[in-house]
Amino acid sequence: MKQRGTVYHIYCDESRQTQDRFMLLGGLILLASDENAMAERFRHFRQQWKMFAELKWTKVSGQKLTEYQAFVDIFFDVFDAGSAHFHAVALDTHKMNHRKYNKGDAEIGFYKFYYQLLLRRFGDWYYDSKEEQRFIVYLDYRTTKYKLGALQTILNRGMQKEYKARAKPFVSIEPLESHHSEMIQLTDVIMGAIGFQKNGYHLRAEAKEAKKMLAAYIAARAGMPSLTEDTGREPQGFSLWDFRLRT
């Protein structure tokens, strides 16, 4: 996917922020030049399956399992062709210490984790100082007092310090309402599946069978035995990073 002057779009979402042990942040990355082809596939999917409402992990049911499998197939078909990737980071909420490291503000910690994901899994793996790739990031909209421009600034500083970026690779970080973006909805479903397995819901007797099946389906299409294990530091198309928090 690395080419001189390449523009990437990154669509990010979060999962399991409050109620579970492991919080997840993740993002789908693809070439900006492939967006139109993906959009056409989304339009065809909605017409074929009559799925016109917003798609999200919380809506997965036995009645719509086939439709949700077809939805994630849109990503994995492009993934198999090497034109789109997915990366997530898992954070153990039992080990978070916002009082010590984030002035008691969980929102500061939240954006610090986004910084790590975007810098280490997207900036590091997709940027080459000789090729000067650029990134446009879309975060699922959330109410916050913090400006995304500040995250963009520190990301570019991090890229210059850590990876010798000559320019500012992160050219934009923008909020995006999920109901306006199939990419965010796709990210939500994949993130939901990772959070579902990472927090052990697939092992519970009361777990919805459709969610168990969809999570297993996503793991299989990603070429992984499950969505629970750290995949390591080497660049790959689908990764899960167990972040080690300071205590």
What is the pLDDT averaged over residues 134-138?
A: 98
Q: pLDDT > 90: what percent of the chain? A: 81
Task: Tell me if 27 sits within 8 A of 8, measured CB to CB.
Answer: no
CATH number at residue 194: 3.30.420.10
> Does position 108 have pLDDT exceeding 80, yes or no?
no
Q: Do 28 and 84 form a contact (C-beta atoms < 8 A)?
A: yes
In angstroms, the CA 167 to CA 123 distance is 13
Predicted confidence (pLDDT) at residue 117 exceeds the cutoff of 60 = yes
The pLDDT > 70 percentage for the chain reads 93
Give strand pairing partners of 29: 10, 85
**Mean pLDDT, residues 157-163:** 96
pLDDT the model gives residue 146? 78
- C-alpha R_g of the chain: 18
Q: What is the DSSP letter of 10?
A: E
Please check whether residue 72 lies inside any domain of the structure: yes
Q: Is the pLDDT of residue 236 over 80?
A: yes
Per-residue model confidence (pLDDT) at position 4 = 73
Asked whether residue 173 carries a pLDDT value surpassing 90, the answer given is yes
As a whole number of angstroms, the distance between CA 236 and CA 230 comes to 12
Give residue 213's pLDDT band: very low, low, confident or very high (50, 70, 90). Answer: very high
**pLDDT tens column, 196-212:** 999 999 999 999 999 99
**How many structural domains are present in the chain?**
1
Within a domain: 132? yes
Name residues whose C-beta falls within 8 Å of residue 203's C-beta, 6 or more positions apart in sequence.
none
Which pLDDT band, with edges at 50, 70 and 90, does 61 fall under?
A: very high
pLDDT, average across residues 65-87: 97
Domain contains 84:
yes
How many CA atoms are closer than 13 Å to the CA of 174, on its beta-carbon side?
Answer: 11
Domain residues for the domain of 188 are 7-242
Please indicate, yes or no, if residue 153 is contained in any of the structural domains: yes
What is the pLDDT at residue 149?
92
Residues in the chain, total: 247
**159 within domain boundaries:** yes
Question: Which of 198-233 are b and which e, b meaning 16 or more Cβ less than 10 Å from the residue's Cβ?
Answer: bbebbeeeeebebbbbbbbbbbebbeeeebbeebee
Task: For residue 15, name the pLDDT band (cuts at 50, 70, 90).
Answer: confident
Average pLDDT over residues 108-114: 82
Mean pLDDT of 67-75: 98
Burial of 46 (0-12, 13-18, 19+ CB in 10 A): middle
Q: Do 230 and 194 touch, CB atoms closer than 8 A?
A: no
> Is 118 inside a domain boundary?
yes
In a domain, 1, yes or no: no
pLDDT of res. 103: 57
For strand 7-15 and strand 22-31, is the pairing parallel, antiparallel, or unpaired? antiparallel
Compute the average pLDDT of residues 56-64: 97
Residue 2 lies in a domain: no
pLDDT score of 109 more than 70: no
